[in-house]
Structure 1
Amino acid sequence: MTTGLDRFTVKVNDARITCDCSGAAYWHAEKLLVVADLHLEKSSCFARHGQLLPPYDSERTLKRLKTVVEKYQPQTIIALGDSFHDNQASLQLSEKNRQLLEDIITHHEMIWIAGNHDDEKTEFTGQWTHEIRIGSLLFRHEPLAGTQKGEIAGHLHPALRISRRGMSVRRFCFASDGNRMILPAFGAYAGGLDLSHKAFYNIFDKSALIACLLGKNTIYPIQKRSFFSQ
C-alpha cells in the first residue's frame, strides 16, 4: 500500500485502486475514474417538498468532479448510481450546470449505473446499466451481503467518527477489506452512514477493513482498529 498527501492506494481483488481525497477512486491500469452518489439537484427536490436548502449543491458537485477529472485524465468515468437525486433532477439542472456536466461527459466514455434514486435514463449521453464487470472488478450501486469479491459499490455513504485526546471528528470515507470497496458519496449535500451501522455487518471482513477518511486536501488511512460496535 502506498500513500501520498491527497491519495491512498489499496488493492481490491488484485486491482490497485487509488482513493482520492475528493471522494473519487481511480484505477490507473484501466484509466477509469469512479464516483458514487452525486445526488444532483437534491436541493430542488427538497424544495418541491417544502424543505428549502441552499441551491448550490449541483454546481459544487460538478465543479469538484471536473477538477478530479482534469487531475487524472481518465478514459472512462463510472457513476455508481444515484447520480440524480430523483427522476426530475436532470430537468431541474440550470443551463450552467447542464453545460458543466456536458463538458465532462462529452470527452469521456461515460457509464451510468442505475441507482434507487435514478433508475430511469436521462437525456445525457453514455451507457446505462445496472452493473458492469471490468477485469477483476464488478461495479454496481448497492453492495450485496456476503462475500462479493471485486465489488465496487456506493449507496451506503460510508463515514467514520474518530476520537483523540477528548476530541471527536467525523469524516466521509472509502471502506475496503481488500475484497471489495464502498465509495463515499460524492454529492455536496449527501449524508453519511457510520461504519458501525448494522448495514455494514455482512459486507466486510472486519479484521481486514481499511477506512480512508476524507480531509480537505488530504486522505487519512486508518487500519487495525474496530469500526463496529459490539
Structure 2
Amino acid sequence: MNGTAFSFTLNGTAAVALPSGALLLPSERLLCISDLHLGKSERMARRRGVMLPPYETRATLDRLALDLDATQPACVVALGDSFDDLAASEALDPEDRARLVALQDGRRWIWIEGNHDAGPNAQDGEGHASLTVAGLTFRHIAEPGAAPGEVSGHYHPKFGLPGFGDRRPCFLLDASRLVLPAYGTYTGGLDARDPALRSLLADRALAILTGSRAIPVPLPGAQRVGQRV
C-alpha cells in the first residue's frame, strides 16, 4: 500500500486503515467499508424531488474496485447503510448493478443491516444484523458499553487540522473500538468532537484522516458542534 495506510491492532487483531476509508484485516483477507449510500440521488429525487447528478453510485463503485484490486480480499463486509434505502437497492441503474455483481464475484460478500437499509436488499450476498470475526464485532451503530473489538459506522465522522484544508472523513480509534468513515460519494458528516461521537471513545483516541494517505492525529475532547449528515 506504498506507505499510505495506517496499521494498528484492535482487540489483538492486526488491521489497516486505508486512505480511501476502507478497513483491511490482512490475516482474514477481509475488507470492510461503511455507509456507501448507493442510490442516494435516486432516493432524493423519489422522496424529495431534489435532482442530484446521478453518478454517485458509479463513483463509489469505481473507488471500491480500486481497493478490491489492491487488497484482493476473500470477504467483503459492507457495514450498513450500503443503500440509501431498500428501494434504492432495487432501482440501481442496470450498469451499476452489473458492476456490483462483478465486484462480488468469487468472494464472500456480507451486508450488515443499517438504519437506512434495515432488511434484505435486492443484491446477492449474505445479510446479517452483526458479525464477529477474529475477535472483532462488526455492527452498523456503536453500542455504549460494547465489549472490546467493536467496529461500526453510521456517524460519518469528519475531522480537520489547521493546514489540512476542509475537514476530512476519518476513522475514530481507541483501545477497544473503531468507527469507520462513510465510504460513499454523497455523504455529509459529523464532527468527530461532537458529544455523540466523543462520548463513545476513551480520552486517548485517534482520528485517522483519509485522503491521499491515512494520517493519525490525537482526537481532542468533546465540544458543541453542528451536525451535517
- TM interval, shorter chain, is over 0.9
CA displacement at 1:16 relative to structure 2:
1.2
- The corresponding residue for 2:87 is 88
- TM-score after normalising by structure 1: 0.92
CA deviation after TM superposition for structure 1 residue 168, in Å? 4.7
Matched, 1:197 2:191: no
User: How many angstroms does 1:147 deviate by?
Assistant: 4.6
1:145-156 residue pairs with structure 2 within 5 A?
145-156=144-155
Q: Tell me the secondary structure at the aligned position of residue 49 of structure 2.
A: coil
Corresponding residue number in structure 2 for 1:119: 118
Secondary structure at the counterpart of residue 61 of structure 2? helix
1:213 matches 2:195: no
Aligned-residue offset at 1:39 = 0.2
TM-superposed deviation, 1:202: 2.7
1:157 counterpart residue number? 156
Q: Distance in 1 between matches of 2:165 and 2:181?
A: 20
1:30 aligns with 2:28: yes
1:139 equivalent in structure 2? 138
Contact 2:61–2:99 (CA<8 Å) still a contact in 1?
A: yes
User: What is the CA–CA distance in structure 1 between the aligned matches of 2:127 and 2:61, rounded to whole Å?
Assistant: 19
- 1:42 — aligned with what? 40
The letter of the residue matching 1:229 is Q
Cα deviation 1:79-117 (Å, max 9, x = unaligned): 000000011111221111001100011221011100010
Distance in 1 between residues matched to 2:39 and 2:152, nearest whole Å: 21
Q: Is the contact between residue 135 and residue 149 of structure 2 (CA under 8 Å) also seen in structure 1? A: yes
- Aligned twin of 1:174: 171
| Matched residue SS, 2:193 | coil
Map 1:67-78; keep pairs closer than 5 Å: 67-78=66-77
Secondary structure class of the residue paired with 1:206 = coil
Q: Aligned Cα RMSD in Å?
A: 1.6
Residues 50-98 of structure 1: CA distance to partner in whole angstroms, max 9, x if unpaired?
1111111000001111110111000000000000001111122111100
CA distance in 2, matches of 1:204, 1:13: 15
Higher strand share: 1
Other structure's SS at 1:29 match: helix
Q: Which runs of 5+ in 2 are unaligned?
A: 225-229
Give percent identity, aligned residues only: 35
Instruction: Report the alpha carbon displacement of residue 196 of structure 1 after superposing the two structures with TM.
Output: 1.1
How many pairs were matched up? 223
Going from structure 1 to structure 2, the CA distance change for 1:115 and 1:160 (only over 3 Å counts) comes to same
Q: 1:6 offset after TM fit, Å?
A: 1.9
SS of residue in 1 equivalent to 2:89:
helix
Could you give the per-residue CA deviations for residues 103-153 of structure 1, whole angstroms, max 9, x where no partner exists?
Answer: 011221011100010112123221101001112100000001135310000
Structure 2 CA distance for aligned equivalents of residues 168 and 135 of structure 1 = 37
